[in-house]
Structure 1
Amino acid sequence: MEGGQIVVAISQLALAFSFATASDPNHLQDFCGAINDAHNSVFVNGRSCNDPKLAEAEDYLFSGLNMPEKTSHQLGSKVTPVIVEQIPGLNTPGISLARIDFAPNGLNPPHTHPRATEILVVLEGTLYVGFVTSDLDNHHISKVLNPADVFIFPIGLIHFQFNIGNTNAVAFAGLSSQNPGVITIPNAVFRSKPPINPDVLAKAFLLDNSVVTDVQSRF
């Protein structure tokens, strides 16, 4: 490679690196275990931080993801989150985790994570998964996943997971936020408090008001 080409290549890498780092600022400190006692803490990044000298191993530990959760309710799925509420040490690193158990025909219904991209890996079973894009066509991207398959759900987009197999299924999800948030679409629409006026939902979903009120009553 000629000297001029080397200079250009280095310049391009430096420019790309500057763009990459500009969107992902450094943490304000190396770790910041969350604490609820505001009188003995420092307020950083939206939560109170425990004094680093008082940090303990338990602040960075969560046990039990090896145990299956009950999936006997109507949807046939159960999400076990491991976010900053479960592990105080997750405060500021910008990551979290969840285990999702599915009964046969179990569904993790359409939902969004407003603050996180999700990466899902299937451990057991067969899942039909998908998300809907935010463009005007609302393109539906879906795939059938088997054990060891990995799928990405981009931040903020509506997505779902459905067990199409005859056995239980298990998946683990990594999320790019300590507190990704979740908006479950059916709950948000039909179980909001106070409820959305049925006239609004009837017009939006092209339904009769009686159908809307019946669905609201079921939630």
Structure 2
Amino acid sequence: MMRAYLVTVALCALAFSLANASDPAPLQDFCVALKAKDYSDSAVFVNGKFCKDPEQAKADDFFFKGLNKPGNTDNRVRSNVTTVNVDQIPGLNTLGISLARIDFAPYGLNPPHTHPRATEILVVLEGTLYVGFVTSNTDNRLFTKVLNKGDVFVFPIGLIHFQFNVGKTNAIAIAALSSQNAGVITIADAVFGSDPPINPDVLTKAFQLDKNVVEHLQKLF
């Protein structure tokens, strides 16, 4: 009887610890991130960043200028992501939010990628985008939608997703992310462009491709 009781208590304690494993809420108004060159003995290390003395914070720590400017889409995927996270706005540190502007040339693609630390919500400002995400390996279900100006779509945290400009004109979207530094893993870049390269035999078997094709893709990336 006592053994069963102890097991029950242990399981309850484990469940409680797992339920409370998320990032804690900030216990101050803000914690403006310092750049490495500005570290001092009084700096406080919080969630991956050193923070400046709150008395030294200024409005520019919470400000970014230039999101109205289109990004350069002259690249192989014909898209550009302008990120506004804690590296651009130090005041975002510990606040759990960031955003990005995504520019697409005609038929430009934001390739399949994931954000390991954030859910993304995207709104189309101009153009028409075909977007989608794939669920995890339980069923690999694909959710897609064609978005027009003013439409909004959500990509759940950690899932592979993409955006493709299906129109003949430029497209613009704004994405908000539930992390100060969401991270991004572009699938093709990570798999075929790793440094050092993944053994081609691994990729040949994983993707069921000819080894020459794998080696060609590794050279491209």
- The answer to whether TM tops 0.5 is yes
C-alpha distance in 2 between matches for 1:22 and 1:190? 34
SS at match of 2:189: helix
Q: Does 1:67 align with 2:69?
A: yes
Aligned to 1:172: 174
Structure 2 counterpart of 1:212, from 203, 211, 214: 214
Q: Does 1:163 align with 2:165?
A: yes
Cα offset for 1:124?
0.1
Aligned to 1:51: 53
Q: 1:167 to 1:43 in 2, by over 3 A?
A: same
C-alpha distance in 2 between matches for 1:78 and 1:130? 18
Runs of 4+ in 1 over 3 A off after TM superposition: 20-25
Aligned to 1:140: 142
- Provide the alpha-carbon RMSD of the alignment: 1.5
Gaps of 5+ in 2: 1-18
C-alpha distance in 2 between matches for 1:173 and 1:45? 23
Gaps of 5+ in 1: 1-19
Please list, as runs of the form range in 1=range in 2, the aligned pairs for 1:1-219 lying within 5 A after superposition: 25-36=24-35, 37-39=38-40, 40-219=42-221
Cα offset for 1:41?
1.4
SS at match of 1:204: helix
Q: 1:44 to 1:127 in 2, by over 3 A?
A: same
Cα offset for 1:21?
9.2
Letter in 2 for 1:68: P
Q: 1:73 to 1:22 in 2, by over 3 A?
A: closer
Cα offset for 1:22?
8.6
C-alpha distance in 2 between matches for 1:109 and 1:180? 16
Cα offset for 1:139?
0.1
Aligned to 2:11: none
Letter in 2 for 1:148: G
C-alpha distance in 2 between matches for 1:129 and 1:68? 20
Cα offset for 1:43?
1.4
C-alpha distance in 2 between matches for 1:86 and 1:65? 11
Q: 1:178 to 1:102 in 2, by over 3 A?
A: same
C-alpha distance in 1 between matches for 2:136 and 2:150? 28
C-alpha distance in 2 between matches for 1:122 and 1:194? 37
Letter in 2 for 1:100: I
Normalising by structure 2, report the TM-score: 0.87
The CA deviation string for residues 58-78 of structure 1, in whole angstroms up to 9 with x for no partner, is 111001011111111110000
Letter in 2 for 1:57: A
SS at match of 2:205: helix
Normalising by structure 1, report the TM-score: 0.88
C-alpha distance in 1 between matches for 2:206 and 2:120? 29
Q: 1:22 to 1:186 in 2, by over 3 A?
A: closer
Cα offset for 1:144?
0.2
Q: 1:28 to 1:203 in 2, by over 3 A?
A: same
